[in-house]
Structure 1
Amino acid sequence: MRIDAHHHLWDLSAVRYPWLMAKGARRFFGDPAPIQRDYLIDEFRRDARGFGASVHIQVGAEHGWAEATWVQAVAEANPDWPLAQVVFCDLTAPDLSRQLDRYQTLPSVRGVRQIVGRAPGEDARTGTNALLDDPRFAAGLRAVGERGLSFDLQLIPELYERMARVLDAAPGTAIALCHAGSPHDRSPAGLRDWASRLRLLSDRPQITCKLSGLGMFDHEWTSESVRPIVETCLEQFGPDRCMFGSNFPVDSLYSDYAHVVAAYESLVPEAATFSVFHDTAARFYALP
């Protein structure tokens, strides 16, 4: 059984997603118009043929608790599909402990995500990078780990050095690096710079890397264009610290699910396949 360690679902009548429903807005990943519709578990399961479990990652709902309880209901309604989830929580919030207490009443919850960086242009507008200078964020990361929860980390290479210093305050928190650390500059020089910076994270055993979301910065991607990224992650983290994620439906803007899986299958050595497509995610997110 394969596990998709990074995907999203949304029911636009049940949970509000302001970013998703903004008309005419273009994002760093492209035009969201084709995915401005419901994407429910039945469609995802049809897309993810050959998989048997997955991890839902929070995706910018107006209210994180509303999203989390909806995902929990989806998990309970589909007992034959093990579904874990990573929820949104502001680690700088004064009531962080109360929020985490509430989230941990939901059996599907495994971790938390608060995005540190998406893309240089968007980050300049949103100011999310400022989390790295906030001591409350570092304390929140530590608190998450002390509860046995993990943290999904999304950021860009320019932030790795600052993030590594923040992680010094939370060495016991398991970290899932989203989207191979978002290498947004796909030029040869840009990829060399990303690979060099990535050592700041891959040298830390608490971090596991997701091979996911590589289409967001290269909408015309091919297996050969992402080969350097996949091979670098496997070399630096090792198969036991790499896991596959589709990033659907966002990455459906660029290719279908079967094409994404086939590309990764062609790039991951056969001896590493079971780790990347099952074992690492099963261990990290406590899935069968």
Structure 2
Amino acid sequence: MSITSPHLSVREDWLSLKTEEVLDPGQPIVDAHHHLWDRPGACYLFPEYLADVRSGHKVVASIFAQCRSMYRDSGPDEMRPIGEVEFINGVAAQSASGIYGQFRACTAIVGFAELTLGAKVAPVLQALVRAGGDRLRGIRNTTAWHQDPAIRSNPQPPPPGLLSSDKFRQGVRCLARENLSLDVWAYHTQLNEVLELTQQNPDLSIILDHVGGPLGLGPYAGQRDAVFLDWKASVAKLAALPNVTVKLGGLGMKTTGFVFHEQPKPPGSRELAEAWKPYIETCIELFGPDRCMFESNFPVDKGMCSYLILWNAFKRIVERYSQPEKQALFSGTAMRVYRLSPNIVADHAAMP
């Protein structure tokens, strides 16, 4: 059965119509969230990602987020996602060879485990840890759901109420025992469920993906101001819990309602910064720079802008911040939350 992708098509010829000089090229960046996959009509593997990384910004390392890539084609269903971690660990080893330059891809891995297994997920988590060597840091499930069929950001949408299900929450409680964090991708309409889940797991590191998913499609089209107020109120409640951090990005997805991809030419960083600033600044104000981290969400967000333009937009949004605050936003928070080597930036700078 073929599954239609909900993501915008990547048009390299269209993206090439907009170029800019790299802003603040010496700022070290840890890309806190990207994917690698080989899907019908959409191949984005290490060579494609590396080409984007080499577009000019000082990206020193990256964190891979699960996307159902390279699952095993046999064995128990719950063990098949181990193939993705094995694959990405191989990409990380390839990058760590130094043959491809100073950048270190997939330094940390967020994999998939079927958390609705409840307590029975424990052996799956242990197998994933082994498959990732010392790189597996967390788990993410497909949880973003809305009843309106126009709102979809995953080729295989989850069932409704997953974040609130007893089995899912039993599985979540197993993560801390394996020293793993939980990444959560949810729309702003689900943030009360995320809040309850977080309150029940105060000792678990929980990372809110894509600024908490403000919606702009379906019943939310043309309702940006009202959605913003609802989203902000929910995000503020999450920010009050110290075990939550937030990824700043994902605003290039169709679900946000932005339509830069419909323009004759791709947006520049000033356009993106103006559109995205309210969400990103709000998150930084509520969580503080030490609990926020920038992400590319590539190749998903590549349907709206290039890698160079995206990071220029982020840099414009935070240009008034101090250098220590920028250091946290662009690399420090991701390094701490995903337990990367503190020497990764220094090692990068020392390489010829």
TM-score normalised to structure 2 length? 0.71
Q: Is 2:270 the counterpart of 1:270?
A: no
Partner Cα distance (1:253, 1:73) in 2: 27
CA deviation after TM superposition for structure 1 residue 275, in Å: 0.6
Helix, strand or coil: the match of 1:264?
helix
Q: Does residue 1:98 correspond to 2:138, yes or no?
A: no
Q: Which of these residues, 16, 35, 52, is aligned with residue 47 of structure 1?
A: 52
Q: Tell me the SS of whatever aligns to 1:222.
A: helix
Residue matched to 2:242:
205
Q: Does 1:187 align with 2:224?
A: yes
1:25 corresponds in structure 2 to none
Which one of 142, 160, 173 corresponds to residue 142 of structure 1?
173
RMSD, aligned CA: 2.0
Matched, 1:112 2:152: no
User: Superposed, which structure 2 residues align to 1:109-188 within 5 Å?
Assistant: 109-122=136-149, 126-185=157-216, 187-188=224-225
Does structure 2 retain, via aligned residues, the 8 Å contact 1:138–1:170? no
1:52 is paired with a residue whose SS is: strand
> Which residue of structure 2 aligns with residue 284 of structure 1?
337
Paired residue total: 266
Q: Which residue of 1 aligns with 2:19?
A: none
1:162 Cα offset (Å): 2.2
Structure 2: how far apart are the matches of 1:238 and 1:143? 28
Q: Does 1:85 align with 2:109?
A: yes
Task: State the shift of 1:126 in Å.
Answer: 3.9
User: 1:21-62: per-residue Cα shift (whole Å, max 9, x none)?
Assistant: 3xxxxxxxxxxxxxx332122321221231010000001345
Shift of residue 91 of structure 1? 0.8
2:82 alignment partner, one of 49, 65, 68? 65
Instruction: Provide the rounded CA distance (Å) in 1 between the counterparts of 2:313 and 2:227.
Output: 22
Deviations 1:55-111 (A, max 9, x none): 000013454212111101111111141521100111111530110010111222110
Secondary structure in 1 aligned to 2:174?
A: helix
For 1:215, which of 252, 270, 275 is the aligned residue? 252
Aligned AA (1:109): L
Matched, 1:2 2:29: yes
TM-score using structure 1 length: 0.86
Tell me how far apart the structure 1 counterparts of residues 147 and 316 of structure 2 sit (CA, whole Å). Answer: 31
Which residue in the other structure is 2:64 paired with?
56
CA distance, structure 2, for counterparts of residue 53 and residue 179 of structure 1: 19
CA contact (8 A) 1:92 1:136 kept: yes
Q: Which one-letter code corresponds to 1:270 in the other structure?
A: Y
- 1:118 Cα deviation after fit: 4.7
* Identical columns (%): 31
Matched, 1:234 2:284: yes
Contact kept in structure 2, 1:151 and 1:174, CA below 8 Å: yes
1:74 to 91, 95, 98: 91
CA contact (8 A) 1:115 1:128 kept: no
- Structure 2: segments with no counterpart, 5+ residues: 1-27, 72-79, 99-103, 217-222, 261-270, 342-352
- How far residue 219 of structure 1 moved from its aligned partner, in angstroms, is 3.4
Instruction: Read off the aligned partner of 2:50 and give its amino acid letter.
Output: R
The residue matched to 1:143 in structure 2 has which SS? coil
Distance in 1, Cα, partners of 2:193 & 2:45: 37
Residue 298 of structure 2 is aligned to residue 248 of structure 1: yes
